[in-house]
A and B are shown apart, each in its own frame.
Chain A
Amino acid sequence: MSKEIIKIEDLKREFTMGNETVHALRGISFSINEGEFVTIMGSSGSGKSTLLNILGCLDQPTSGTYDIDGLAVRNLSKNELATIRNEKIGFIFQSYNLLARTSALENVELPLLYNSKVSTEERKERAIKALEMVGLGDRMDHTPSQLSGGQQQRVAIARSLVNNPVLILADEATGNLDTRTSYEIMSLFQELNEKGITIAFVTHEPDIATFSNRTIVLKDGNIIKDYLNKEIQSAATELALLPVEDH
């Protein structure tokens, strides 16, 4: 059996809103193994954003345990959490979150700026490699405003790859993109997954889930479904089947 990247047991998260306690997660357990491509689905209010924040070490659970890459996250200080985010996790957001007026290369370099073990030369080298992996080797000097939405998301993906994370967390990464570009991005995710990168992809679009090998469905803070995909669609094939756009 391959290595467990994520191990969650009886995870609960409660928020206090005035006098009311909101149970965002009501004691969920699951594991994600190395090399899996998991989509986490659920309608709004299902707790998937809360789960994502905890998985991303941006938030701490109220109770239960969370191990990432063998490390227990609970009871870690803010600074220790920051180090985990820096070294083990790659984030991809719906709205790309690139730094404006900053070149693609510098955007990709960003996580490594906070890692004092990486030298300036190595930082640049790794950023170039990451950009080449997402097919933007020729756009390194472009700023976000000079790039299309799909290209901006590719830069964000390169940024998430640059620190060689054990897990990539994508939050509605295709939410701002049209179908064609979404499929392009999903095809890129599939390529990366084939190279052995573990991906957790939060979405509410069912067709996106068909590209992953496992789907976890949340509802009202509980896991209602957790199944392996028997027929994984190839995003590249789906892309080829799309009608040619009129220009």
Chain B
Amino acid sequence: MRLLNLIKIAFKAIILNKVRTLLTMLGIIIGVASVIAMLAIGEGSKESIRNTISSMGSNMITVRPGEDDRGPARGSGGDVQTLTLKDYEVIKEKTTLLSYITPVVNGGGQVINGSNNWPSTIYGVNPEYLNIKVVGLQSGSMFTDAEVQSASKVVLLGQTVVDNVFPDGEDPVGKMIRFNSIPFKVIGVLEEKGENTFGQDQDDVVIAPFTTVQKRILAIDYLNQIMASAVSEDDAPEAVTQVSEILRTQHKLTANEDDDFTVRSMEELISTFSSTSEMLTILLVAVAGISLLIGGIGIMNIMYVSVKERTKEIGLRMAVGGKGSDILMQFLIEAILISITGGILGVTLGLGSTIFIEKFLHWPTSVALYSIIISFAVCAVTGIFFGWYPARKAAALDPITALRYE
């Protein structure tokens, strides 16, 4: 009952100073709104990175030749020829944590169909490739192990390649195309996967048996990569260790020699990219948090002014029976009301701008419930913290002095 009266009194004081209160609130509103929007952007980009990487196959493990940390002048890891088919066979034989594994050789070239042609990349793999990349077939079928054995001239095309070399919309399955002037029979079309987070078109590919690519196109006997898939996502880190050990033994590396290959899981990739975006999120939230602090100081400032300005009123309230605690509560409630109302408006504005960012700027966003709860709690605490001292000052006034104050 008494508290209700005090809330009424505080509410009335706020209503009487609409513009001033609104301007005071603005600091809180902007602070909260930016915290929520920034967190939504941060969470959104993290989520989208995770999603695209997962869609590339979250269990995926890649083995590349050469060291990862070679300096720029020494050429990229792909140029090194330390990975062989023998390595692939040994890993396949000894591993216990991999469900699929394929050798990979790749090279660029021109896909030609009559008068249409398109530059693309051909990947020489084995049939397990589809399981590792988690990609299905839109039409046709995958080549068989027998076709790998015989280095058959068959290919599967990605959607981008199909669109460019079969622009009339005819079914490419069963048609002949040429890749770098070597004729191939199209036996299937890959399901569309779209762009990945890094802007790479995942449909601009040609898939063929690795034997065919090795012998007929690239004329090499080493491998560019070995791709594999761990039994489960949880097993991926251990699988990475296991593959490394197998390869070290196979390459006869002594204990103080560095790896001449790199094994990576998708999980590492995810954390690399997540940590970048996490860092960014922390920075954004820090900036937003500072504006919330400034908002709080704004409240404190205006509460001090308010107490000074209403000294006589405080004296009167005390004279007619207001206790020190009543006065303290009145001003504290006023500060909390300002900050909470600011918080509500801020959350609304934050959600609104998040929707706006998603709709019009097409940035991925994801509003986390915790961001709303946290910023709301921070608001209430801000109100209490920054309202306390001015309220205390008001409550400590001597009624006689306050009544005489001009």
Q: Which of B118-126, B157-165, B178-186, B311-319 contacts A (4 or more CB under 8 A)?
A: B311-319
Query: What separation, in Å, do the CA atoms of A87 and B320 have in the docked complex?
Result: 9
Q: Give chain A residues whose Cβ lies under 8 Å from the Cβ of B322.
A: 82, 86, 114
Q: Are A113 and B5 in contact (CB under 8 A)?
A: yes
Q: Are A91 and B320 in contact (CB under 8 A)?
A: yes
Q: Give chain A residues whose Cβ lies under 8 Å from the Cβ of B317.
A: 110, 114
Q: Are A86 and B320 in contact (CB under 8 A)?
A: yes
| A58-B399, A58-B400 known; A116-B2 Cβ under 8 A | yes
CB neighbors of A among B166-201 (8 A): none
B146 within 8 A of A: no
- Closest Cβ of chain A to B265, distance in Å, is 67
Query: What separation, in Å, do the CA atoms of A16 and B1 have in the docked complex?
Result: 41
Query: What separation, in Å, do the CA atoms of A115 and B2 have in the docked complex?
Result: 8
Q: Are B400 and A110 in contact (CB under 8 A)?
A: no
Q: Are A159 and B400 in contact (CB under 8 A)?
A: no
Q: Which of B8, B16, B326, B400 contacts A59 (CB 8 A)?
A: B400
Chain B interface, DSSP helix/strand/loop, else mixed: helix
Q: Are B9 and A113 in contact (CB under 8 A)?
A: yes
Query: What separation, in Å, do the CA atoms of A62 and B204 have in the docked complex?
Result: 96
Q: Give chain A residues whose Cβ lies under 8 Å from the Cβ of B403.
A: 58, 93, 97
A61 within 8 A of B: no
Q: Are B316 and A101 in contact (CB under 8 A)?
A: no
Q: Which of B8, B326, B400 contacts A114 (CB 8 A)?
A: B326
Q: Are B16 and A101 in contact (CB under 8 A)?
A: yes
Interface size on B, residues (CB 8 A): 24
Interface size on A, residues (CB 8 A): 26
Query: What separation, in Å, do the CA atoms of A83 and B1 have in the docked complex?
Result: 16
Query: What separation, in Å, do the CA atoms of A239 and B12 have in the docked complex?
Result: 40
Q: Give chain B residues whose Cβ lies under 8 Å from the Cβ of A99.
A: 313, 316
Q: Give chain B residues whose Cβ lies under 8 Å from the Cβ of A97.
A: 312, 315-316, 403
A85 within 8 A of B: yes
**Binary contact readout A78-122 vs B (1 if CB under 8 angstroms, 0 otherwise):** 110011011100010100010101100010001101111000000
Q: Which residues of B does A touch, CB under 8 Å?
A: 1-2, 5, 8-9, 12, 16, 312-313, 315-326, 399-400, 403
Q: Which residues of A does B touch, CB under 8 Å?
A: 53, 56, 58-59, 78-79, 82-83, 85-87, 91, 93, 97, 99, 101-102, 106, 110-111, 113-116, 159, 163
Q: 11 other contacts beyond A58-B403, A116-B2, with CB at 8 A cut-off? A: A58-B318, A79-B325, A82-B323, A83-B323, A85-B321, A91-B320, A93-B316, A93-B403, A99-B313, A113-B9, A114-B5
List the 4 shortest-distance A-B pairs measured between CB atoms, nearest first.
Answer: A86-B321, A111-B320, A114-B321, A82-B323
